[in-house]
Structure 1
Amino acid sequence: MAIASGARPVVGVLALQGDVREHAAMLESAGARALPVRRERELSEVDGLVLPGGESTTMSRLLETFELLEPLRERIAGGLPTFGSCAGMILLARQALDGRPDQQQLGGLDVVVRRNAFGRQVDSFEADLDFRGIDGGPVHAVFIRAPWVEKTGDGVEVLAEVPEIPGAPEVAARIVAVRQGAVLATAFHPELTGDERVHRLFVDIVREA
């Protein structure tokens, strides 16, 4: 059942590593009630979940340590609205290139991503993106050792691509935001800019799911 318009859905933030406080603050500003998630009991209480940026292989190991990997896979497969940023995007993908052999994937998105795709020469950069589904002009994006999407499957909607960047022509048109049903992912960190529009989009997805 969809959450009533104006209601505050409970959106968890996976609180094992990464930008937990920043995401929680943006979710609260966007109209949700944020809840840190470290245990299966907390996961069972949320209407949606954010997987923050951080280090994807470390987060993968911690999901196993905290016995959250399989419960999270089950909830996502069951339709839990989920938003992953940077490392969260990597975890949500069905396949991650250049990762560790033992890295676990959640499989919520039918995409192939490449870890640290932008390389050391563009480890950290910012760009203004045309983001489909978000009004009000370009979304200013912060990329920190970010992935990109190499391949999308059927049912995956591409929401944003990198524009041309002086000195780095090879990154132009790389896919950096996608959606598949109730699952949203960005290669960048919208929690770091003060622009809550991506989080508002996700909260709307949670309300409608």
Structure 2
Amino acid sequence: MIKIGVLALQGAVREHVKSLQAPDVEVKVVKRVEQLAELDGLVFPGGESTTMRRLVGKYGFFEPLQQFAEAGKPVFGTCAGLILMAEDIKGEPRGYLQLMDMEVQRNAFGRQRESFETKLFVKDVGEEVEAVFIRAPLITGVGKEVDVLSEYEGEIVAARQSHLLACSFHPELTEDARFHQYFVQMVRESKETTADSMAVT
């Protein structure tokens, strides 16, 4: 079994839990820092990024989340979760957790009324992947180690850097679980690699 957590400080937690379901996956709703130690992977859900940053600080998650990612454990951020992960945020002095080598722009698609649904090609995931954009950010720039997975009208909306995965949209608000299952496979491979290296030592 692999254990994947969904950070439950704010956002569509239940929907992420549903999308991560697989026979070999145990999904944990994460509300306490101590829970991170038992996880093989972690999801940062969407929500309101400023509120999420405040709650991450309030409940002592800031350094533990950085350490989780630095240990090579896979992390997947959607919408506001993507903003938390970014090295740089346009118009701000720096990013927050600064996990992933990318610059993002908040609310790049406008306010709530500009929300929309579409289907995207996502590299290594599939064709016509369902995507819901709600006050979505954009990835405005990426470092050389970052692989662009998907674009919408020429703008980057999904990317991967090694064990880190992020998208501008909400795949959890659709019935299409392929993006989440791609992350589940990342976690499987990460755990297998860790187990193999431990066996060698």
Same fold per TM (> 0.5)?
yes
Tell me if structure 1 keeps the 8 A contact 2:87–2:95: no
When residues 121 and 67 of structure 1 are mapped into structure 2, their CA distance, relative to the original with a 3 A threshold, is closer
SS, match of residue 155 in structure 1: coil
Match of 2:105 in 1: 114
Q: Give the structure with the larger helix fraction.
A: 2
RMSD: 1.7
The match for 2:148 is 158
The correspondence of residues 78-97 of structure 1 with structure 2, limited to 5 A, is 78-97=71-90
With structure 1 as the length reference, what TM-score do the two structures score? 0.86
Deviates further, 55-64 or 114-123: 114-123
Asked whether the equivalents of residues 85 and 96 of structure 2 are also in contact (C-alpha less than 8 Å), the reply is yes
Normalized per residue, the structure richer in strand is: 2
What is the number of residues matched between the two proteins? 190
Q: Is the 8 A contact 1:30 1:199 kept in 2?
A: no
Equivalent residues of 1:9, 1:32 under 8 A apart: yes
Report the identity percentage.
48
Q: Partner residue of 1:71?
A: 64
User: What's 1:167 paired with?
Assistant: none
**In the alignment, does 2:172 pair up with 1:182?**
no
Q: 2: CA distance between counterparts of 1:142 and 1:202?
A: 18
Q: What's the secondary structure of 1:28's corresponding residue?
A: coil
Q: Which residue of the partner structure matches residue 134 of structure 2? A: 144
In structure 2, runs of 5+ residues without a counterpart are 191-201
- The 3-state SS of whatever aligns with 1:130 is strand
| Aligned match of 1:201 | 182
Q: 1:132 aligns with which of 123, 131, 139?
A: 123
Q: Provide the residue aligned with 2:26 in structure 1.
A: 33
Point out where structure 1 has 5 or more consecutive residues left out of the alignment.
Answer: 1-7, 163-171
Displacement after TM superposition at 1:31 (Å): 4.8
